[in-house]
Structure 1
Amino acid sequence: MKTFRIIVLIIITICLGIFGTYHWMSFKTRHQVYDSVNDIPKNKVGLLLGTGKYAASGTINLFYKYRIDAAVMLYKSGKIEYILVSGDNSRKDYNEPSDFKNDLIAKGIPEDRIFLDYAGFRTLDSVVRAKEIFGQTNFTVISQKFHNQRAVYIAKHFGIDAVGFNAKDVYKASFREYLARSKASLDLVFNVQPKFLGEKISIQ
């Protein structure tokens, strides 16, 4: 019976930790994420966080589509001058940054205003590499709100002055995001670094 109680207490503690971490990140970034293009401050660079172009059904992934729309809106409103696309290119047949680049160009963004980071395997990598590789200490993160909150929280930890522009949501944050924020928090506690760094690239 004593062992059962201990197990129950452990489970409750873990659940409270996951729940608390999620809402703490939302609270700490509440003034740094924006829904309105008119309200968001101007930055030189918009960090567009990657995702796959297609959903499992084979249709266009709406997270992808709405992030494209948000990046184009920021650029055409003069709120960013360059777009840094950071995503996964770990396989030859999967290239998030290039997909984004092609569709951004099709939407009227000049090619010379788009930079690609092929080693943005996860949010921490994308945020830290924007600083360490691309030399940006302040930028605008472009993704859905729940993702922006996590990215901006990570950025603040690394001394980056970041804001987030919220692309249209597809659905509210899932339980997966609760776990993602707990994992991100542990990564910061244990000082986890990006999988790859490399030579510096100047955005200009």
Structure 2
Amino acid sequence: MNNLIKRVFLLLIIIGLLGATFIIYANWKIESETKNYITSDPNKLPIEHVGLVLGTSKLLANGSMNPYFKYRIDAAEELYKAGKIKNIIVSGDNSRKTYNEPEDMKNELLKRGIPEIDIYMDFAGLRTLDSVIRAREIFGQHEYTIISQEFHNERAVFIARENGINAFGFNAQDVNKSIGIKTMIREKFARAKVFWDFLFSVQPKFGGEKIFVE
């Protein structure tokens, strides 16, 4: 019995080490492959027809503004007014009647003076993969600039380029590490899941009619 317990314990250790090694590799791979396509300087970006803003909740649990949300809107406004993007796709979760990331993002952009005619909503951006792939499959964009925080842009740009999309990333202001620690830990595992999705050819959950971006 003792030998069996030891073997099981050893097996669990090996599995844990392999899992940790894979997570480390996934994070290194994504960072190294995307470093030349991501920037915090608008002047280093090409002019694109579309900027893709990745969704997040507008409010925190305490009712205050989510800084991730605010900084992404700030970044989208900056790129648009700098003439680096001509249209904006806001892509996020709208899986519940009381929760609408694209609508929230659009409303904030309208407050910043972005013309409504230049804002397009993707209500099926349930995951980063969905948002990135749907920008091509639904909105017909094979090249665009992704707008989010740097850690998120790295994963999003990696997914896009692995799927043949010529994507760049514009880094929104990051959040204080003490506030965003849970997000950063979750991101480490999300990057490992990217390779799982590739292995099983995971596609966006929803399709839909084509939307022409003028």
TM band (smaller chain):
over 0.9
Which residue of 2 is the match for residue 16 of structure 1?
21
Mapping of 1:119-134 within 5 angstroms? 119-134=124-139
Per-residue deviation at 1:41?
A: 1.4
Choose which of 172, 176, 180 in structure 1 pairs with 2:190. Answer: 180
Q: Alignment length, in residue pairs?
A: 204
Mapping of 1:155-194 within 5 angstroms? 155-172=160-177, 174-194=184-204
Choose which of 64, 85, 88 in structure 2 pairs with 1:80. Answer: 85
Matching residue's letter, 1:40: L
Which residue of 2 is the match for residue 148 of structure 1?
153
Per-residue deviation at 1:117?
A: 0.3
Matching residue's letter, 2:206: F
Q: 1:5-54: per-residue Cα shift (whole Å, max 9, x none)?
A: 22211111101111110121011001010110111111110000010100
Distance 2:134 2:8 in 1: 45
Q: 1:111-163: per-residue Cα shift (whole Å, max 9, x none)?
A: 00000000000100000100000000000000000000000000011110000
Matching residue's letter, 2:110: I
Distance 2:36 2:212 in 1: 29
DSSP 3-state at the match of 1:139: strand
Matching residue's letter, 1:199: E
Distance 1:192 1:38 in 2: 34
Which residue of 1 is the match for residue 58 of structure 2?
53
Give the TM-score, by structure 1 length: 0.98
Identity %: 51
Q: 1:90-113: per-residue Cα shift (whole Å, max 9, x none)?
A: 111111101111110100100000
Give the TM-score, by structure 2 length: 0.93
Distance 1:196 1:189 in 2: 20
Choose which of 201, 206, 210 in structure 2 pairs with 1:196. Answer: 206
Distance 1:179 1:57 in 2: 26
Q: 1:175-203: per-residue Cα shift (whole Å, max 9, x none)?
A: 11011111122111110010001110000
**Root mean square deviation of aligned Cα:** 1.0
Distance 1:184 1:56 in 2: 28
Asked which structure has the greater CA Rg, the reply is 2
Matching residue's letter, 2:194: A
Matching residue's letter, 1:101: K
DSSP 3-state at the match of 2:157: helix
Bigger drift between 100-109 and 164-173 goes to 164-173
Distance 2:47 2:32 in 1: 23
Matching residue's letter, 2:136: K
